[in-house]
Copies of this chain bind each other. A is one copy, B any other.
Amino acid sequence: MKSITSRDNPLYKEFKHLATSAQALRKAGRTLLDGVHLCQAYSQHHGLPQCCIVAEGSLHHPEVAAILANIEQQAVQCICLPDALYKALSQVEHGVGLMFVIATPAPQLPATLAVSSVVLDNLQDPGNLGSILRSAAGAGIRNVFCSIGTASAWSPKVMRAGMGAHFLLNIFENVNLAELLENASIPVLATSSHTKQTIYQTDLSKDVVWLFGHEGQGVSPELMAMASQTVTIPQQAAIESLNVAASAAICFFEQVRQQLGKSN
């Protein structure tokens, strides 16, 4: 295992750059998985990282030691950092000091939208995006398409909120959603509070595309016009609608419920 002890080491500076700039991540086509849980989830679903970073103080942590033994056997480069240098890379407080450097998965855009998918137009909040990814994975929806303005799915905050859901999904970023929706061969549903038809009255037993938008402004009018149907989650009380991640969870799992009912 290689040790780096200087902040001026070029490789360390590269890591630091990746850790602090979403733009650098995008440009490099790489990202950092911070913490044992994300690293384990990645190994399980995708295999080996490009490289592994470990804090000196975590070398003998049993889970870290097991991961290191395995990946060093496979000739993956492991780099050990003094705890202070590691800490400057990590956004996790009190975490175990292990990171994977991975190539950001960039699956090829399908030609048509033909299976249940989530389409996100300009969604802003990393916590909401992570929660939607978890809910989609939990509901068995595999494909998530994000517009250019949507939060960066592979940023550390979104990955933390996603808790490993990223590795169960095909996440397509910077997608031209108008083009994508033009090629949908299944219904495209958007939620709206101005609609009478509830999700409970809608047939969700077959595949559908779920379209969600910006936390404040919702889906852009241009894309809204491309939805096959708007549906509503019936709500009590004069309240400013649900949080977008809560709405998405309710919709995805109403689909799960209907599909389970069909298979029973």
Contact = CB atoms under 8 A, between A and B. Distances in A.
Given A243-B245, A246-B245, A246-B249, A140 B257 contact: no
A73 interface: no
A241 B253 CA distance: 13
Contacts of A163: 239-240, 243
A237 interface: yes
A253 B256 contact: no
Interface stretch (A16-24, A103-111, A175-183, A228-236): A228-236
State the main secondary structure of chain A at its contact with B. helix
Interface residues of A, number: 43
Interface string A240-256: 11110111111001101
A118 B161 CA distance: 23
B236 A135 contact: no
B239 A168 contact: yes
**From A198, A238, A239, residue with most partner B Cβ within 10 Å:** A239
A138 B239 CA distance: 7
